[in-house]
Structure 1
Amino acid sequence: MPDNTLSPAGAGLEFMEQTKYRNLKRSDQEKGLARPPLELPPAPGLPVMDLPKPATLAIPHLDLRMAIERRHSVRSYAKKPLSVDELSFLLWCTQGVKSEHGTHATFRTVPSAGARHAFETYLLVNDVDGLAPGLYRYLALTHRLCQMTTNPTLHIDIARACFDQDFIMRCGVAFLWTAVPYRMTWRYGERGYRDLHLDAGHVCQNLYLAAEAISCGVCAIAAFDDDAMAEILGIDGKEQFLIYLATVGKCETGP
């Protein structure tokens, strides 16, 4: 029989135990503390650009069952750029805001516990028409992009931080989702960390399915050096940390 005694080596089991409802303390929402903002603001002075509006995009229709049947991880991509329209479509499908409830909540194209939507979407752009290679952040509330850096070795640095998964360097764009945990724990306390990981799955599956409509392949990545990625993204790794990423690129052969 396995030894289920909780110990430093059993951090996962300890996490599950301590986040059971019977072990939770009052959340900050229950204490009447102010809710965190719905989105991190862009840093002053950084370029911000509008994206094509979702309603204007001419995206081929694809039967949902066909998209589900085709969906699989793709690590080899054609040397063909994505268009800005296609990128706009993928961003809307993964974090697009359908409506806002004042400053309290957003209702998006993906589910999130309590509509807390604790993610920020960063993009490693390698090959997208009209965009310089580099790091960007999606401003979901206004459907815009903020250009963070044009570091020419960024794709190499990120591939290394993902334990040399070199297909990252050959994708058209990589989606990097960071979590701002207080957006979730404000309502749910420590239990909210469970919800963050569930939400990551919702977001990434939407990316897989949406990519099928534009002849792109996706590969989700959960293996990365947390501290190295935090340094690359300029985040602290605690109040904001990378939770998941995925590469996207044009398929080498059609469906």
Structure 2
Amino acid sequence: MATIDTAQSNGSGLLDRLSDAWASRDVRFAVEIAVGIFAFLIFVGVLYPAPMPILFLGLVLGSINALIALGIVLTYRANRIINFAVGDLGAVAAVLTASLIVGPKWPFWPAMFVGLLSALFLGGITEVLFIRRFSKAPRLILTVATIGLQQLFVFGELALPKAFGYDTAPQPPVPFKFTFTWQFLVFRGGHLLILIVVPLVMLGLAAFFRYTRVGIAVRASAESADRASLLGVPVKRVQTLVWVIAGGLSGLAVL
């Protein structure tokens, strides 16, 4: 009996420790990442085997899409809407950058810097002029409004080249001359730059939201805007900041 009681006690203690560990957000996040990696390996190794160059290209393209997806998540947490306009925020900046490079012959990096600044500005001004006006409207109405904003940005993408004397968006020269061939695919320096920049951006945002006062204010507003407002958090300005970040992420992805 003593042995059985001891075993039951040990089992109960183990379950309690596992329950306490699972209550930790960091532990849950690590488990979710591990499960995701395992599922990915099963998918590409058993269900849908693919050559390594294809997987590498998928990693590059997926990293770009991850930035846009992060912008969608941020604006959803801030405004509780599905933002259909995020991708075209960056597209306007990309067209502006290409037009500056091909038209006035700007160097690549200054043109890219101006394009990225325009994406940040466009994200902030969109929230102030449009999204804030619908703050009391039903979420479905605001979601539909983002579709209208998307069409407005598409118009900007078509109109910008004409301001520089082009009928369509010009194709700027590739700034990176480095290339390498992996079996049947050719990769350029831009592909490697994506794999360097995107993880750094992700880590920077994670540190920003976790350790800075502004980042904590963004998280508090996302959890409950009313409660955060009562605690003195400037919710409106925080939401504008979220849209600025989303615009920057979209611009960085498209550029």
Q: Which structure: greater strand fraction?
A: 1
TM-score (norm 2): 0.23
Q: Which has the larger radius of gyration?
A: 2
Which structure has the highest helix share of the two? 2
With CA pairs under 8 Å and 6+ residues apart, which has the higher RCO, 1 or 2? 2
